[in-house]
Amino acid sequence: MATSKVTYNGLLRTTAVHLQSQTQIISDAPVDNQGKGEAFSPTDLLATSLASCMFTIMGITGKTHAIEIENATAEVTKIMATEPRRVSEIHIVFNFPNKENYSEKDKKILENAAINCPVYHSLHPNIEKVIDFGW
């Protein structure tokens, strides 16, 4: 069964529909690549999916080990390269509101969970991943 359906809307915009939930994501080409930049670009989604995946696996692991990560945030920065145009680096800075309550063991458990998420391992090894857990 397909995961999603993507429609090209014209003017460098797409609409992706998650078939199970019917949730939609609109993407636009970025301003520096002939687009309007009015929504996530496809490469923004790629970089952002890394942080979302890391949080998902940390959340699963946190439930197992009674480590609360609710309301944590992550700022994602995508660095582009040319020839060929591609994502060359993804920088993620996490902020955990209750980090002062985490033991060193808790921190290691969360870090290990994050870097073992499926997106992390699916990205090309040439994409540099700079992760700051904010401890």
pLDDT tens track of the chain, all 135 residues?
A: 999 999 999 999 999 999 999 999 999 999 999 999 999 999 999 999 999 999 999 999 999 999 999 999 999 999 999 999 999 999 999 999 989 999 999 999 999 999 999 999 999 999 999 999 999
Report the C-alpha gap between 105 and 89 in whole angstroms.
Answer: 28
- Homologous superfamily of the 42-132 domain (CATH): K homology (KH) domain (3.30.300.20)
59 within 8 A of 53, measured Cβ to Cβ? no
Predicted TM-score (pTM) of the model is: 0.95
Name the segment(s) of the chain with CATH classification 3.30.300.20. 42-132
Sheet strand arrangement including 128-132? 73-81, 86-95, 128-132
Displacement of CA 107 from its chain's centroid (Å): 20
